[in-house]
Amino acid sequence: MPARRTSVPEARRRVSTLLREWGAAQQVRDDVELVVTELFTNAVRHTDSEKVGCELAVIGAHIRIEITDEGGPDASAPHAQPGSLDQEGGRGLFLVGALSDSWGTRPVDSGRGQVVWADLPYRTAAH
């Protein structure tokens, strides 16, 4: 998707639709939407990307979220800032950490950029 602020709600909408199709529980959908929003927003705000990718996969009892950016000269691996709970920026990664069993980054296989991933508990809705 284009690396624009207006793409964030579109990414969230697509994720929500996919999770509904998969039959994910409401809490899973809410948590994944929040994590996607935070990570996608960071990719738009803190990299020189023209495009940002978003992928989901169910792996065992987890759902893996991967947000891929194209990097940039000042892009670095995201990290929560000390004291950022009281500041405007940085709170999103505390939320990602709180909702995820694990999260991290890795370089993009094809060159410039990085993948920020998060694994959240996954369960389907009770029928």
Say which residue, 29 or 81, is predicted with more confidence.
29
The fold adopted by the segment(s) 7-121 is Heat Shock Protein 90 (3.30.565)
Around Cβ 79, how many Cβ atoms within 10 Å?
10
pLDDT given for residue 54 in this prediction? 96
CA atoms within 13 A on the CB side of 117: 17
* pLDDT confidence bin for 79, thresholds 50/70/90: low
Where in the chain are the domains?
7-121
Residue 126 is given by DSSP the state P
pTM, 2 dp: 0.86
Tokens of 33: 């939407």
Using alpha carbons, select from 84, 76, 27 the residue that is nearest to residue 48: 76
For the stretch 85-124, pLDDT in tens is 445 556 788 899 999 999 999 998 877 899 999 999 999 9
Tokens of 126: 């009770």
